[in-house]
């Protein structure tokens, strides 16, 4: 329990001590009144402080302060002189309610993360990729800017699982996620689309820019030692590219289908390479 001698000290305590879960304030305090403290709490940029339950102490006949405190966001009132049993009961109720609300918000955040995040790699999942791609596609069409999608598939991934076990396969997937994330720009998005396939969303990029990015990633994968539980593995990847500046696509599905077609051309032409057109040609290959 923290005891402040005035409103400013109370505010400093709220900012300095995350363990505070409930506020009991008098209306009349020096430096910062109870009303002013209440307003500052409710307008705080810190969500933890902003959502704190606040009990205001008032006199029974002081309806003006009571109504103002209610408008300022007070959760409850208790009359002076204070009845300790009543104060304890109200404190327990609001503390329990605040804890319940906090747990619900945490559960909601966890569910939202599960809905948009791949559990193994912690990348965006397929659903999240499509949601972001649709938003970027709208912006690209509105402002006539570029947009490219790169699909990456780990070569011979089934052999890794079959020869070295799924733990090694999972380790490769996690390492690949980290490697690709390190190579992209802050505005780009990388997602695990399923299995050993990853997708990159590159807003503002044309085909050349996407090809340069894809080749940089391909070369980095080829040179990277992938640490499995009991060995180091050498891995390569194939990549297919689609971009709005040269490809006719009306939506994300069409752009992704073009990139997917070129990914399989890269694989059919020998793997460990990128493909930027439907002839399977690229200026880069390993």
Distance separating alpha carbons of residues 175 and 170, to the nearest angstrom: 9
Secondary structure of 164-213 in HEC code, one letter for each residue: HCHHHHHHHHHHHHHHHHHHCCCCCEEEEEECCEEEEEEECCCHHHHHHH
Q: Which pair of structure tokens corresponds to residue 226?
A: 């992938």
Give kind and range of the element (H or E) at residue 25. Answer: strand 23-26
Does residue 196 have an active-site annotation?
Answer: yes
Sheet with 274-275, side-by-side order of all strands = 189-194, 197-203, 147-154, 237-243, 274-275
Q: Which pair of structure tokens corresponds to residue 190?
A: 């990388």
- Identify the active-site residue in 21, 103, 113, 196: 196
Catalytically active residues are 196
């Amino acid at each position: 329990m923290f005891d402040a001698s005035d409103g400013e000290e109370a505010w400093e305590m709220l900012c300095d001590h995350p363990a505070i879960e409930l506020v009991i304030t008098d209306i009349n305090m020096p430096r910062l009144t109870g009303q002013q403290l209440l307003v500052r709490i409710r307008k705080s940029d810190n969500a933890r402080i902003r959502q704190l339950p606040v009990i205001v102490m008032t006199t029974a006949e002081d309806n003006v302060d009571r109504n103002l405190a209610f408008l300022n966001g007070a959760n409850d009132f208790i009359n002076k002189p204070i009845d300790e049993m009543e104060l304890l009961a109200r404190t327990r109720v609001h503390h329990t309610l605040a804890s319940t609300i906090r747990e619900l918000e945490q559960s909601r955040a966890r569910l939202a993360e599960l809905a948009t995040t791949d559990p193994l790699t912690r990348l965006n999942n397929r659903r999240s990729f499509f949601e972001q791609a649709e938003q970027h596609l709208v912006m690209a069409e509105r402002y006539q800017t570029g947009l490219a999608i790169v699909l990456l598939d780990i070569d011979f991934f089934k052999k890794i699982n079959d020869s070295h076990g799924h733990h090694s396969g999972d380790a490769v997937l996690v390492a690949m996620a980290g490697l690709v994330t390190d190579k992209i720009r802050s505005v780009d998005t990388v997602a695990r689309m399923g299995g050993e396939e990853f997708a990159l969303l590159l807003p503002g990029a044309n085909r050349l820019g996407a090809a340069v990015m894809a080749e940089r990633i391909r070369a980095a994968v080829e040179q990277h030692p992938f640490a499995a539980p009991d060995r180091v593995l050498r891995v390569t990847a194939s990549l297919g590219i689609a971009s709005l500046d040269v490809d006719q696509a009306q939506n994300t599905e069409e752009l992704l289908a073009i990139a997917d077609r070129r990914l399989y051309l890269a694989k059919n032409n020998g793997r460990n390479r990128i493909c930027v057109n439907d002839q399977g040609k690229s200026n880069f290959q390993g």
